[in-house]
A and B are shown apart, each in its own frame.
Chain A
């Protein structure tokens, strides 16, 4: 979302639009970027357009019949002239990130959206859930008499208005959606409405209409939808996915959450704060699979055990029937291993949080001989799409949930930026180990890189030693001032060269704290160097400072002492 916010400082959309039209007009006549001073917006982008890209004069407003005939005549072979330099299918966070970067790089860009701009994250995911979690966090604070008392506060009974809470989430989503839309419009990204379907190389049909556009490079960024295992009947009221839950149409007394990953965990935080009781149904043997085991264990002690939550692990929900005719929601559980019937739950609602499935149907992948794997588009490390013969499909990329590499909004955006870097002539491979992840419970969980078991396995395989440093939020002044000393930060590193392998944080504002570590990993900063950097006191960031300083690295600082700066 950072990009969205920064864009609010850019000139108004109308001005940008005007400047863009000028650009194109000039580009027909001259190759010198005369218009630079005139528009002032992203000069390098316009310069590129004007001087380097002779195709940019072809506006999408050219006669449509011409486009179709061109497409028909050249079926199978790539068109010689393109409507766009870059066409992105899907205007979620991934597509948006790619589009913004593409404009910065001077590409003539269009984005195709069949639903609403913003995709899952903005409309049915990260964004509205953060609104609900913000409410949950405040409710927790207000309900925690003990905590308030220790701060010397007195608050009379806290209550909430469900519709008010729901409206907050809806309003936030629409605000962010508008920001996203405006930011793209302001930069001159064409938003083409309709589902995009690939007809052939570099050729995409927009919606069911006969509008066909061509582009030099195409990025698939169609994202994902909630995954619903078979046997589960979604009615959108009592058996729901995150899509419905975010509307918060009702707060059940007892809700079963199937799946205890990020989504399930965040919703358990929301629901318990609003007074629901929760039963987790987890197929694996322990809750919160995927988290570092130690963090998971502590998180369970803080986020699950003291709350009105119980759980069944090692079980599948084989059948879920929505509430009807006065009967409750019925969940049949079978043993995950033996498949024997184990138990039946009867609850007021069930939230299916079993992960997400790629949304790649109807994308026309068969036209370019690409076969999805469980719906995911196969890609290489540069997000280049691989066809059924294992060959790269030229000029076609896939980012975000649709490729399944790392199903996070910001990972999609980072992948998109990486692709744009590549198509503009700079090779780039995204280091996924530097992409942080966060779970916005209270307190938050965040992580980057490897978990301890993963790191130890890697160390064993590649023959290096792995060490772990830990620090508690109890040792942090700011956390104690907030009376939120519960938390742990954990650094997994190589003691021989000081490489950061992973950082895991559970505690107050963990999601905001992780970036020091993720940036260090992305930039290859070693512990012996970063430990000399200064952190303001007293701040939560000192948790990481403490962590770096407690690491025992054999190598010495590599960065030479810089020129002394007088103050």
Chain B
């Protein structure tokens, strides 16, 4: 209502105002021939954009029901946008063949909400089209039941969603009332957040009372989803290898929920102005150290994480992030997330307080995290609290690559392999040194070029003189 009320004088009938408005706005927005036409005579009715800020709309009520004859300009449905309720009218004559989003359902702007058949004969055809899996899944994913427990809703008739949920067995709510994961118990704010962040509640492990999902669980999960999407290159490599054997060629396989999360995060990352700074670091000393303490269970990942953390101590800005577009969020602890490829995706277990914990403990912790990740038993705080991400494809022999910045964090470092390189030394000789290339992608809103340069300089000093890594 709010924006309708800029003037004190409003037409007494709000519906007439809404009508005029909706016809004006949607009329200009949508060309008369809808792109979603399958057969020339079955048309889709879309969720219109009723305001400039509207991204999704809720169906308040269907004015017409299935089978009703419609004439051009008649209102068909009342839609609640972020601002007001408005009548949406049809641009064509025909019959309302199938309603795809029921009353109370939510659909994204542009998503089909109903089918319009030109004559009665086509109603059946349209109905079957509406029930076809592709459209069903799109409406299912875009219309979570607003108040009822979403899992119950998903259970009913939306096969694709159910399958997706089954494909992600890793995390099921352990709430006693969840009836073996069928029911999701989430607090109102958690539900609201999940909807906002487009996170599926069924995949979140609740840490609230009796395993209830609370807001921070959703936030953590969303952040991890973002982190999980950190290094898509890393995911692509093993995934492709796998697909060689187990995938039916020529088929289209829908994303699992984890893959959908990756996809969303990847697209979202385009909204962040990133830039990259590379650096070549000599690793002879690090390699020597590694050889020396390898027997004590120390891993290269732990050494790299430790080195990065120590460099971050001196450059807190590189450990910061920009959450709202207006401010620096300086993180109080240095948590190094490291991308790990898993079957069907990737996850970023977090080495918390990597600057404070000694490298032996870090190594043990890392091993434990990797085992848990493979068993899909990571808890949200173990994969969603990273403040800086490492992606190491060096182990595959990759010498240099580029990582995408996970939304919500400030920087990610892509680590290439350490390779023997012929270098000219300062004293004018030619020598052989092990060198690796690192490439940091950062959010330029908070981290500037000089910040990264100085950070990398510090990092290279630490790696080239690694005595501090073992305290």
* CB <8 Å contact, B5 and A472: yes
Q: Is the CB of B177 within 8 A of A471?
A: no
Residue interface bits A267-304, CB-to-B below 8 A is 1, else 0: 00000000001110000000000000010011001000
Say yes or no: A253 contacts B1, CB within 8 Å.
no
> Digit string of B1-16 for contact with A (CB within 8 Å is 1, else 0)?
1100111111010100
Which residues of the other chain, A, contact B177 by a CB distance below 8 angstroms? 330, 344, 346
Residues of A within 8 A of B189 (CB): 277, 308
Contact of B187 among A253, A313, A472, A474 (CB under 8 A): A253
Interface residues of B in 156-195 (CB under 8 A from A): 175-177, 183, 185, 187-189, 191-192
Question: Is A229 part of the binding interface, using a Cβ–Cβ cutoff of 8 Å?
Answer: no
Interface size in chain B (residues, C-beta < 8 A): 32
Q: Measured between alpha carbons, how far is A313 from B152 in the docked complex, in Å?
A: 16
Please tell me if A310 contacts chain B, counting CB pairs below 8 Å.
yes
Specify which of B2, B191, B192 is in contact with A486 (CB 8 Å cutoff): B2
The answer to whether B188 and A346 have CB atoms under 8 Å apart is no
Contact of B147 among A277, A294, A311, A468 (CB under 8 A): A311
Contact indicator A469/B12 (Cβ below 8 Å): yes
**A321 and B335 alpha carbons, distance in the complex (Å):** 43
Q: Is A68 an interface residue (CB 8 A)?
A: no
Nearest B residue (CB) for A543: B8
Residues facing B in A432-483 (CB within 8 A) are 467-472, 474-475
Measured between C-beta atoms, what is the minimum distance from B452 to chain A in Å? 31
* Binary contact track B30-49/A, C-beta < 8 Å → 1, others 0: 00000000000000000000
- Pick the contact of A294: B9, B14, B149, B214 (CB < 8 A): B14
Check if A298 sits within 8 Å of B210, measured CB to CB.
no
B93 close to A (CB within 8 Å): no
At the interface, yes or no: B271 with Cβ under 8 Å from chain A?
no
Chain A residue, CB-CB nearest to B60: A297
Contact A346 B5, beta carbon cutoff 8 Å: no
| Distance between B144 CB and nearest chain A CB, rounded to angstroms | 12
Contacts of A328 in B (CB 8 A): 209-210
B188 contacts A348, C-beta separation under 8 Å: no
Whether A277 lies near B1 (C-beta < 8 A) is no
CA distance A301 to B191 in the complex (A): 17
* Total count of chain A residues near the partner, CB < 8 A: 35
Q: Tell yes or no: A312 within 8 A of B by CB.
A: yes
Cβ–Cβ < 8 Å partners of B187 in chain A: 253-254, 277, 308
Point out the residues of chain B lying under 8 angstroms from A35, CB to CB: none
**Is A488 interfacial (CB 8 A cutoff)?**
yes
Question: Once the chains bind, are B152 and A343 in contact (CB under 8 Å)?
Answer: yes
Q: With an 8 A cutoff between CB atoms, is A423 at the interface?
A: no
Say yes or no: B12 contacts A475, CB within 8 Å: no
Interface of B is mostly: loop
The verdict on A309 contacting chain B, using a C-beta distance below 8 Å, is yes
How many Å from the CB of A182 to the closest CB on chain B? Answer: 44
B306 at the interface (CB under 8 A from A): no
- Decide: B8 and A346 in contact? CB cutoff 8 A: no
A342–B147 CA distance with the chains assembled, in angstroms: 12
Cβ–Cβ contact A346 & B212, under 8 A: yes
Q: A312 with B147: in contact, given A278-B188, A328-B209, A348-B209 (CB under 8 Å)?
A: yes
Does A550 belong to the interface (CB within 8 Å)? yes
Residues on A with C-beta less than 8 A from B176 are 327
Query: Is B149 a contact of A472 with CB atoms below 8 Å?
Result: no
A546 interface hit (Cβ, 8 Å)? yes
With A277-B189, A550-B8 as given contacts, are A301 and B149 in contact (CB-CB < 8 Å)? no
Interchain CA distance A462-B358 in the complex, whole Å = 86
Q: Do B1 and A346 touch (CB < 8 A)?
A: no
Alpha-carbon distance A290/B6, docked complex (angstroms): 27
Is B394 positioned at the interface, with any CB of A under 8 Å from its CB? no
Q: Which residues of B contact A279 (CB under 8 A)?
A: 188
- Contact, CB under 8 Å: A313 / B212: no
In the complex, A358→B354 CA distance in Å? Answer: 65
Q: Which residue of B lies closest to A476 (CB)?
A: B8
Task: Check if B6 sits within 8 Å of A474, measured CB to CB.
Answer: yes
Interface contact B147-A301, CB-CB below 8 Å: no
Given contacts A279-B188, A294-B14, A346-B177, contact A474 B5 (CB under 8 A): yes
* Cβ A313 vs Cβ B147 within 8 A: yes
Taking CB atoms, residues of chain B closer than 8 Å to A310 are 146-147, 188, 191-192
CA distance A301 to B208 in the complex (A): 28
CA distance A532 to B214 in the complex (A): 55
Report A546 CB to chain B, min CB distance, Å: 5
- B50, chain A: closest CB distance, angstroms: 14
Cross-chain contact of A467 among B8, B12, B152 (Cβ < 8 A): B12
- Kindly state whether residue B148 has any CB partner on chain A within 8 Å: yes
A312 to B208, CA, bound (A): 22
A253-B147 contact in complex given A310-B188, A475-B8, C-beta closer than 8 Å = no
Asked whether B85 is an interface residue with its Cβ less than 8 Å from the other chain, the reply is yes
What is the predominant secondary structure among interface residues of chain A facing chain B?
strand
Q: For B9, give its contact among A254, A277, A550 (CB under 8 Å).
A: A550
A278 surroundings in chain B (CB, below 8 A): 188
Known: A253-B209, A277-B189. A312 touches B148 (CB 8 A): yes
Whose C-beta in chain A lies nearest to the C-beta of B191? A310
Report the separation of the CA atoms of residues A538 and B189 in the bound assembly, to the nearest whole angstrom: 38
Find out whether the CB atom of B210 lies under 8 angstroms from the CB atom of A346. yes
| Distance from A57 Cβ to chain B, minimum over Cβ atoms (Å) | 62
Q: How far is the CB of A233 from chain B (nearest CB, A)?
A: 18
A346 adjacent to B185 (CB under 8 Å): yes
A346 touches B175 (CB 8 A): yes
Contact A475–B7 (Cβ < 8 Å): yes
Residue of B146, B148, B191, B209 near A343 (CB, 8 A) is B148
How near does chain A come to B15, taking the closest CB pair, in angstroms? Answer: 11
B209-239 interface mask toward A, CB cutoff 8 Å, 1 = contact, 0 = none? 1101011000000000000000000000000
Complexed CA–CA distance, A132 and B209 (Å):
26
Alpha-carbon separation in the docked complex, A486 to B188 (Å): 24
Residues of A within 8 A of B7 (CB): 472, 475
B146, chain A: closest CB distance, angstroms: 8
Tell me which of A294, A297, A309, A313 has the highest count of chain B C-beta atoms within 10 A of its own C-beta: A297
B224 vs chain A, min Cβ distance (A): 22
CB distance from A411 to the nearest CB of B (A): 30
| Residue in B12, B85, B188, B191 whose Cβ sees the most chain A Cβ within 10 Å | B188
Knowing A277-B188, A309-B188, A310-B147, the reply to whether A472 touches B210 (Cβ < 8 A) is no
Q: Is the CB of B192 within 8 A of A308?
A: yes
In the assembled complex, the CB of A334 is this many whole angstroms from the nearest CB of chain B, namely 13
CA A149 – CA B72 in complex, angstroms? Answer: 48
Q: Which residues of A contact B152 (CB under 8 A)?
A: 343
B342-373 Cβ-contact flags toward A at 8 Å (1 or 0): 00000000000000000000000000000000
Contacts of A472 in B (CB 8 A): 5-8, 10
- Alpha-carbon separation in the docked complex, A312 to B175 (Å): 20
Contact B149 A297 (CB under 8 A): no
For residue A342, which residues in chain B have a CB less than 8 angstroms away from its CB?
148
Mark interface residues in B97-118 (1 if CB within 8 Å of A CB, else 0): 0000000000000000000000
Bound CA span A469–B8, Å: 9
- Is there contact, CB below 8 Å, between A297 and B1? yes
In the complex, A391 Cα to B146 Cα: how many Å? 52
CA of A104 to CA of B192 in the docked complex: distance in angstroms? 56
Q: Which of B176, B183, B187 has the most CB of A within 10 A?
A: B187
Task: Please determine whether B149 and A343 come into contact, CB atoms closer than 8 angstroms.
Answer: yes
Chain A residues, CB < 8 A from B212: 254, 346
Check B147–A471 contact: CB distance below 8 A. no
**Bound CA span A563–B7, Å:** 36
Give the 3 A-B CB pairs with smallest separation, nearest first. A472-B5, A310-B188, A308-B189
Which B residues contact A (CB, under 8 angstroms)? 1-2, 5-10, 12, 14, 85, 146-149, 152, 175-177, 183, 185, 187-189, 191-192, 208-210, 212, 214-215
- Apart from A346-B177, A550-B8: 15 A-B pairs, beta carbons within 8 A: A253-B214, A254-B212, A297-B1, A297-B85, A298-B1, A310-B188, A312-B148, A328-B209, A343-B149, A348-B209, A470-B8, A472-B6, A474-B5, A475-B7, A550-B9
What would 8 A/B residue contacts be, using CB atoms closer than 8 Å?
A254-B188, A277-B188, A298-B1, A308-B187, A308-B188, A474-B2, A474-B5, A550-B9
